[in-house]
Structure 1
Amino acid sequence: MGGRFFKFLAIGWLPLLGLLAGCEAPLAKQIFQNASQSAGMGSTISLLVETKVGSDPSDQKLNKLVVEQEVDLFQRFNPGVKIDVRFVPNDQLIKQLNFQYSRGLAPDLILLATNNLLPLWRQGLIKPVELKPFEEKSVRAALLPAFTYKEQLLGIPVLIYPQIACYNRSRLKDPPAKIDQLIKLGQAGYPIGISGSFESLRWLYTGFDDSARANISGKQSNELFKSPSLPFLTWLRLANLQPSISFESDQQLLRDGLVSGEFSWITCSGAWLQGLQKRMGSKLGIALLPSFPAGSAQGLLNARTWAFGSQSSSIQYEYAKRFALFSVNIVQQRNMILRLRSAMPVNPGISLPLKTDSTLALIVEAGSSGRLLNLQNIDLLNAIEPKTKPYLDLVLSGDQSPQAIAPRFDSLLKQTESR
């Protein structure tokens, strides 16, 4: 049941090679010209940018610089528009929005670190955005359903960050390509760090569930169908028995551990690459998450997303939409991706040097095997996250067996499915 739940949650495979295919020149010209037209009358719009608490200062600095450069360039093309930018940590975002909303000063545009839009929508802090047919072509059509709720588009994606693996080249020559090699690496004494939240472990859950269903054989397969969580929980217990494998709830511990040499291999995000590269230099290696018998690991894809404030006037809304679309036009998307080298573009007309840039090529490959959850499913995943922790802790600590916890874990996912 849990497996079906997550298959239902997933928006599906993201065919990134198709995303990187070319688009028609007249369309590209039309989009660029629309984004670059000067605003007639002067206007000011406010932009609030969410930053992640605990993220590497280098990553935060680069992300702020990218936003500020986008704003400066947009204002150069639109001298009649002024954009006021503020940055707020993610743990203060809702508080800030409620405070500004209560005074009628809510931002016109919000750049979220994820696509978790429904909480803002329910509180009336954001409103849908309407795109014209040619504007929709700035974002690959397969992505838009993931940002749609009750037939309304609640946000526009800007960048997609995949889950990957990072390792220390000076300590580990060959990163594990298959899931069984990860355990063997731990048994050989290589220190391994794995993000311990269920959201981050979802690639393991779905990988083992898919593998179990792909290898049906008699009574054993029937037991697996009854408890899709059992292979996942069993692997967690086996991995945690290895003294050199650690499950960390603090992402910063993983990053710092890789830099210091405490870990040779960690699960990580494309969003960490700039900071890790600055701290590790040529020692930093990146790889795909280990694959399963049923196929590639399906890590979650994290989307940086534009949301539109509900208190904007019609003019402010139009300028906010113009700026959001400016950030996803062909020129700006290509510049951002080449600058970051850690994310995937959402514009279908981007052509990237994948043959000569191995980092970008791996990011694209990781994205092609990843899954982007839609708004409802991101909301459900966030809702069950705190409820999964006690079960995972019981298994990892050895307090209870995977066999004892699996039925309760399955029941939790089943209850969530029926919501």
Structure 2
Amino acid sequence: MKIVPAFVISLLFAGCSSVILEANEKVQGRLLIWHSFEGKEAQTLNSILAQYQELYPRIKIVDEFFPEETITDQFRLQARSGLGPDLMISSFEELIPLIQEDIIEPLNEYNLDLSSYLPRPMSQVTLNDNLYGLPFVLTTQALCYNKTQVEQPLQTLPEMIVGAESKLQIAVPSNFLDTLWGVEIFRAEPDNRKLDNIGVDNIFEPKAWGNWLAWLRHANKNPNFILSSDTSTLKQIFTEGQFAYYICDTDDISDIKAILGADKLGVTTLPGAANQFAEVKHKPAGPTLYTKAIVFNRISSNATTKSALQLASFLTNVEQQTKLAVETESLIPANSEVQLDKRLSPIQAVLLAQSKTAVAVSLKFVYEFEDADEIHGDLYYNLVMAGEMAPMEAAEKFGQKIQEIKESLTQKDAMSLGEE
């Protein structure tokens, strides 16, 4: 056994102490952070913030909750008056007005190491090569099921039909956005199609959507295949134990588990492997990916913004991202280096796997076509499901409408936002 001299040990500890002291001196001041997390999500975030303050006692972090429906408007209102938080966690779709009003800090000049962030979420915080936030956590859709009714969860669309024919009730939220997960199954492009930085030219394939609509309309003939736009009611009935399956939003899983019971809730990836309509067999579903981003108030001082970026780096490191995933059971890491053991964290591992096939709609696409889905997508979707229009006719008309919107955008309209 080797004996380490006491003076060597003292030198090692002195060296460590100096590093910690130097870090503590750099991270100081006060940071105000806004978020809209509740329940387990809020508890986990607060625990992480408390740990950060223990590591860096010279900094004071104040967090404030705002409802998701109002947080961005409150930020805009206060930022115009030179107030508001130093950083805010917000849905990526809400970034557009913040960029337009020039109230969030572009991050290009801070020389950040972005290598650990997944590329698809990065497309949702970047516009015209300008970085306007950092990906924090992700949400998408998955397939929730009741273990008391299902021994082995279905994996394919044909199995979905068989399940309904076997009297298992399958609840599917029914509108344009909530059903987009099936389009990827019918897409004729190769399975290795690049899914990051999706733009207008490849977000929508009329033939794939038409075939998917045809499949949905066929499935809807079975009374046990329940399509409804009333998502809250579907969720409630599932938590009451009546449905065998429910296409759920991943950020609802923690609440569903608390009501239905941990012993009853199962979660798996959405069914893929298309039926005879598809040209490519055995393809995974492609639900829409949503990024919750950390953005920074432009009114904050340079020193404060650097402290806020240091905190954001901590929130998105492997350890904290893993903690968020494991403890909330509903939030998906944006850090590409997170690995989850499906034996220890089965639900979280499923969500991470599902996010890898999810499609990220870029921030640029949201800017250019933010009203197209609501105004036109739901219109044609509802016409098909009501039997008033053939699936392929609806798909072609919607495709034409998308093209018209694209052509109506001038070069200035499409490219000026976010440019210096």
TM over 0.5: yes
Aligned pair in 2 of structure 1 residues 35, 361: CA closer, same or farther (>3 Å)? farther
- Measured after TM superposition, the shift of residue 100 of structure 1 is 0.9
**Match for 2:149: what amino acid?**
R
Aligned pair in 2 of structure 1 residues 417, 132: CA closer, same or farther (>3 Å)? same
Give the corresponding residue for 2:352: 364
Secondary structure of 2:66's aligned partner:
strand
TM-score, normalised by the number of residues in structure 2: 0.78
Secondary structure of 1:91's aligned partner:
coil
Task: Verify the 8 A CA contact 2:143 2:248 in the aligned structure 1.
Answer: yes
| Distance (whole Å) between structure 2 residues aligned to residue 170 and residue 386 of structure 1 | 37
Give the corresponding residue for 2:113: 135
Give the corresponding residue for 2:23: 37
Give the corresponding residue for 2:301: 313
Tell me the percent identity: 20
Secondary structure of 1:415's aligned partner:
helix
Matches within 5 A, 1:321-340: 321-340=309-328
Correspondence for 1:290 among 252, 271, 277: 271
Give the corresponding residue for 1:233: 213
- Measured after TM superposition, the shift of residue 34 of structure 1 is 9.4
| Distance (whole Å) between structure 2 residues aligned to residue 168 and residue 339 of structure 1 | 21
| Distance (whole Å) between structure 1 residues aligned to residue 139 and residue 289 of structure 2 | 6
Superposition CA RMSD, Å: 3.0
- Whether 2:84 is the aligned partner of 1:95: answer no
- Whether 2:273 is the aligned partner of 1:273: answer no
Give the corresponding residue for 1:396: 385
Task: Verify the 8 A CA contact 1:148 1:375 in the aligned structure 2.
Answer: yes
- Measured after TM superposition, the shift of residue 239 of structure 1 is 2.5
Secondary structure of 1:394's aligned partner:
helix
- Measured after TM superposition, the shift of residue 108 of structure 1 is 1.3
Secondary structure of 2:306's aligned partner:
helix
Structure with greater proportional helix content: 1
Aligned pair in 2 of structure 1 residues 405, 333: CA closer, same or farther (>3 Å)? closer
**Match for 1:37: what amino acid?**
A
| Distance (whole Å) between structure 1 residues aligned to residue 67 and residue 22 of structure 2 | 31
- Measured after TM superposition, the shift of residue 404 of structure 1 is 4.2
Aligned pair in 2 of structure 1 residues 186, 302: CA closer, same or farther (>3 Å)? same
- Whether 2:167 is the aligned partner of 1:189: answer yes
Task: Verify the 8 A CA contact 1:187 1:244 in the aligned structure 2.
Answer: yes
- Measured after TM superposition, the shift of residue 306 of structure 1 is 0.6
Task: Verify the 8 A CA contact 2:80 2:103 in the aligned structure 1.
Answer: no
| Distance (whole Å) between structure 2 residues aligned to residue 398 and residue 365 of structure 1 | 35
Give the corresponding residue for 2:237: 257
| Distance (whole Å) between structure 1 residues aligned to residue 385 and residue 27 of structure 2 | 61
| Distance (whole Å) between structure 2 residues aligned to residue 165 and residue 381 of structure 1 | 28
- Measured after TM superposition, the shift of residue 187 of structure 1 is 3.3
| Distance (whole Å) between structure 1 residues aligned to residue 170 and residue 189 of structure 2 | 23
- Measured after TM superposition, the shift of residue 136 of structure 1 is 2.4
324-333 vs 182-191, which moves further: 182-191
TM-score, normalised by the number of residues in structure 1: 0.78
- Measured after TM superposition, the shift of residue 181 of structure 1 is 2.3
| Distance (whole Å) between structure 1 residues aligned to residue 172 and residue 143 of structure 2 | 10
Aligned pair in 2 of structure 1 residues 266, 212: CA closer, same or farther (>3 Å)? farther
Give the corresponding residue for 2:179: 201
- Whether 2:403 is the aligned partner of 1:414: answer yes
Give the corresponding residue for 2:200: none
Q: After TM superposition, which residue ranges in structure 1, 4 or more long, deviate above 6 angstroms?
A: 33-36, 211-214
- Whether 2:171 is the aligned partner of 1:171: answer no
Task: Verify the 8 A CA contact 1:125 1:309 in the aligned structure 2.
Answer: yes
- Measured after TM superposition, the shift of residue 351 of structure 1 is 4.1
Aligned pair in 2 of structure 1 residues 415, 263: CA closer, same or farther (>3 Å)? farther
Task: Verify the 8 A CA contact 1:107 1:309 in the aligned structure 2.
Answer: yes
135-144 vs 160-169, which moves further: 135-144
**Match for 1:303: what amino acid?**
T
- Flag the structure with more relative contact order, 1 or 2, with Cα contacts below 8 A and sequence separation at least 6: 1
Per-residue displacement from partner, 1:334-364 (whole Å, max 9, x unpaired)? Answer: 3222223444333344343345433233223
- Whether 2:64 is the aligned partner of 1:50: answer no
